[in-house]
Amino acid sequence: MTLEGRRILVTGVLNQESLAWHAARDLQERGAELLLTSFGRMRRLTERAARDLPRPADVLDLDATKAEDYAALAEELGRRWDRVDGVVHAIGGAPEGARDGHFLTTTPGEAEEAFRVSAWSLHGLVTALLPLLRRAEGGASVVVLDFDNTTRAWAGYDWVGVSKAALQSVARYLALYAGRDAVRVNLVSPGPIETVSGRSHRLFPGLLARWTADAPLGWDPRDAEIVTGPIAFLLSGASRGMTGEVLRVDGGFHLAGYPVPDDWRAEDVA
């Protein structure tokens, strides 16, 4: 699947472990032209990771908590490109008081920060870039990296989980309104991958053990590339009829109400 000539903005690259970095590498290998975003002390790490891509990519400033940064980003993109064909939103996070088992004692300010970074940032990014997204030939595509929290509560994820549920709703409303401008907004929800942000959650080892045991297709937390194909598909013209969807790339974990016992797997069906 080629993305030759497509101009795509990728957020959320921290280092070479980041899902966003693997997506960026794959998109470049498919012919896309990329720019990345970062801010503050993390920018140096992002720039280092950007140099390890097949083609080094420039890093632009974006602090997801600052409304003025979105307008500045759109202005800078407009100077460099005549349009934006695609965006990968991989922004998330919360203060310690809003995660890792502190749900009942989270302050309003901590909850608001989690929401602002993990959910509102998608609204801020898409609305700021909408004039450039409208210029994409054949329509533009926004792909959002998510962890599905709409029907379950995950211990330790806490207000990040609440914000991720809101993120899905924000994506649906953006898909509704931006669709008039031929801008698609879809989400990719992968299982747990071994990244810096993943391992930062205290209960990650237990979550990973359960996922590995119960996913019908099995699950390899080191295989970040399992997510890059679906991202590329949603950024391509092959998905031009899709918007507001969630693609679950989780080995089928979401469908297993109760896993198949090991002793049931021994018999082959003729």
| Residues 229-238 as b or e (16 or more Cβ within 10 Å = b) | ebbbbbbbbe
DSSP state of 90: -
**Long-range contacts at 61-68 (CB < 8 A, ≥ 24 apart):** 61/37, 62/11, 62/37, 62/38, 62/125, 63/39, 64/91, 64/116, 64/117, 64/121, 64/124, 65/113, 65/116, 65/117, 67/124
Query: Cβ atoms within 10 A of the Cβ of 223, count?
Result: 14
Cβ-proximal residues to 145 (8 Å cutoff; 6+ apart), any chain? 12, 19, 20, 88, 89, 90, 92, 187, 188, 190, 227, 231
For residue 171, give the nearest of 235, 122, 234, 227 by alpha carbon.
122
- Asked whether 10 and 20 are in contact (CB, 8 A), the reply is yes
Would you state the pLDDT for residue 241?
96
The reported pLDDT for the residue numbered 270 is 52
| φ and ψ of 87, to 5 deg | -135, 135
Helix axes 121-133, 67-80, angle to 10 degrees: 30
The secondary element (H helix, E strand) that includes residue 234 is helix 228-235
**Residue 240: how many other CB atoms lie within 10 Å:** 12
Report residue 132 as tokens. Answer: 């450039």
162, 148 contact by CB (below 8 A)? no
For residue 242, count other CB atoms closer than 10 A to its CB.
Answer: 15
Q: Measure the CA–CA gap between 154 and 104, rounded to whole angstroms.
A: 14
Amino acid at 252: G
pLDDT of amino acid 151: 81
Residues 222 and 194: beta-carbon distance below 8 Å: yes
| Rounded Cα gap, residues 195 and 49, in angstroms | 14
Reading the block at residue 144, the tokens are 């959002």
Domain boundaries, the chain: 7-251
Q: What is the pLDDT along the chain (270 residues), one digit of tens a residue?
A: 899 999 999 999 999 999 999 999 999 999 999 999 999 999 999 999 999 999 999 999 999 999 999 999 999 999 999 999 999 999 999 999 999 899 999 999 999 999 999 999 999 999 999 999 999 999 999 999 998 777 888 888 899 999 999 999 999 999 999 999 999 999 999 998 887 666 666 677 878 888 888 899 988 988 989 999 999 999 999 999 999 999 999 999 888 877 777 777 555 555
The domain defined by 7-251 folds into: Rossmann fold (3.40.50)
